[in-house]
Amino acid sequence: MDQKKNLARHTRTLSLSVRISGLLVLASILPLVLTVVIINILSRPTLIAQNGQDMQIDAQAHAQLIDNYFAQQIFEARAISRSQALQKFLGGDKSETMKAQAQESLATGREQGSYYEDWSLLDLQGNLQLYYPSPPALHGQYYIAPTYLQNFRPDDTQQIQLRSAQLSDIFYNPVTNEAYIDIYAPVFSANYQLVGILRTTFDLHYIWDIVNKEAGANGVGSYAMILDRHGVCIAQTSPNPDPFSRVDSPNLFKTSMPLSEATRQLVVESGLYNGPKLPMLDNGKLLAENIQKNRTSFQIVPPGLQANYQASMSTALSVHWNYILLNPLNNITTIADNLILLTSLITCAVLVLAVLIGMGVGRHITKPLLHSANYLHKSSEALKELARKEQSAATQQTWVVDSSQVGLHTVQYYTNAATVALQRLKDIGNYLVSNWEQLHPETAKKTVEHLVETVHYLEKAILYQTTNNKKLESTIKVTIQVADQLATGATSATKAAEQLEQVVNQLQHIIGK
């Protein structure tokens, strides 16, 4: 009994009202949860992919602007390199007249735009021959680094003609806070002999303006950066693009990957970038890996930042620069995130309402069952009490029957003894009658007659006692049967009480009491 109660107690689960409330909660919030899952699985990737495509188009457009810009500069340099005055001057005519004509040709180039710093003529050994309007700046010890100069070998005229012009890497003047690039265009004589090199230097204000205009163009925190063919950051959206108080990005002239030995030599000999030792970009390795794998769209934590960004890249083929647009990922997924937030708030509100309604409905449903369980529990207790009393009465009745049986056996014993005594008295009386002559006649006769009469009376009493003993035996048998029936009834009542208690426990288990 106790084990069953303990088992029912240990296996008790949540109440019926709580389970009904839980079912209502599941039925209410399951569609909302599915909505959130669908938004995460479908909407977010779709938004990211769509934004990646838009950013890729934007990156390609800016890379094309850079290609067009350098194509124009190369075209202008090639056009001036074909000037007959330049060809004759570098071919050996050093007269003042020819020198003046050559300077006029260089001045024509200077007039093409203010971004040109100077125009100059170099011989095939890299020595300065003529310039306008001011002498060109030395790059290290050279007007043209040996690495670039070796591409203008006189025995390689056909290759030079096909190349037409060569762009240098980036030079930087920390005093003026400006970056420059050189164009080296071959100068051929009338008979197609290489006679010298035209060098023009122009600043990168146009390129940096393109990059600076990307500040917030694709959302709050979006920007752009350019990595050159060596993986060095040569441009990045400035925190303060104002030309008079511009603050350069801290990532400027940092490299995304270790420089090769040839590149380090070129940096040292020509003074590229901002010094011979270039620091590494944070997360630059991951950025370089995406570039090497030609990925046009990818996600990355940009250098110097902590959040994930969506990046789109396009290459300017004329200079092999990688133009990269970066946009915080949360800008792209704002719509989905706001929708998820709104859905989550609705889910919480529905959850609270479902819990309250579910608890109310559950209590309303389980209240009659709870009352019934209580009534059944009381009936079970009463039935168990009745069974206990019947069991006690049956026990007492059995004790009475046992005592009666003992008394009956005693009466039967004395009845048998009296019968034996009477028989002996009768025998004695018969003996006296038979020996009558030996006794006083009259007195003995009366005494014997009186004795015989007494014996007859005892016989009748004993016969009557025997009859009563039989009746008492029958009564005891009936009492035994009644006691057995009481015991059987008590046992049945106990079993019924146990079964009713199990029903009550099961009902309480269902309603969770």
Predicted confidence at residue 488, as pLDDT, reads 75
Top mean-pLDDT range of 191-195, 329-333, 393-397? 191-195
Judged against a pLDDT cut of 50, whether residue 8 lies above it is answered with no
Closest CA to 160 of 200, 199, 123, 192: 192
Judged against a pLDDT cut of 80, whether residue 288 lies above it is answered with yes
Closest CA to 207 of 80, 340, 346, 318: 318
CA distance 503 to 232: 82
Task: Assess contact for 382 and 478: CB atoms under 8 A.
Answer: no
pLDDT band at 153; cut points 50, 70, 90: confident
Task: Assess contact for 253 and 273: CB atoms under 8 A.
Answer: yes
pLDDT tens-place string over residues 122-143: 999 999 999 998 899 998 889 9
Judged against a pLDDT cut of 60, whether residue 5 lies above it is answered with no
Predicted confidence at residue 200, as pLDDT, reads 93
Predicted confidence at residue 424, as pLDDT, reads 67
Judged against a pLDDT cut of 80, whether residue 255 lies above it is answered with yes
Beta-carbon neighbour count of residue 194 at 10 Å?
19
pLDDT > 70: percent of the chain = 64
CATH architecture of 82-202: 2-Layer Sandwich (3.30)
Calculate mean pLDDT across residues 40-54: 72
Task: Assess contact for 4 and 502: CB atoms under 8 A.
Answer: yes
Beta-carbon neighbour count of residue 501 at 10 Å?
20
Structure tokens at 260: 């090769």
pLDDT band at 69; cut points 50, 70, 90: very high
CA distance 469 to 418: 14
> Identical fold at 82-202 and 204-332?
yes
Rg of the Cα atoms in the chain: 61
Phi, psi angle pair for 382, to nearest 5°: -65, -40
Rounded to 10°, the helix 84-91/96-110 angle is 130
pLDDT tens-place string over residues 339-392: 667 767 776 776 677 667 766 766 666 666 666 667 666 766 766 776 676 676
- Chain centre distance of CA 378: 51
Judged against a pLDDT cut of 80, whether residue 235 lies above it is answered with yes
Task: Please state the domain extents for the chain.
Answer: 1-48+333-513, 82-202, 204-332
Dihedral angle, C-alpha 188, 194, 196, 199, nearest 10 °: 70
Closest CA to 339 of 28, 45, 35: 35
204-332 topology per CATH: Beta-Lactamase (3.30.450)
CA distance 321 to 63: 8
Calculate mean pLDDT across residues 213-240: 90
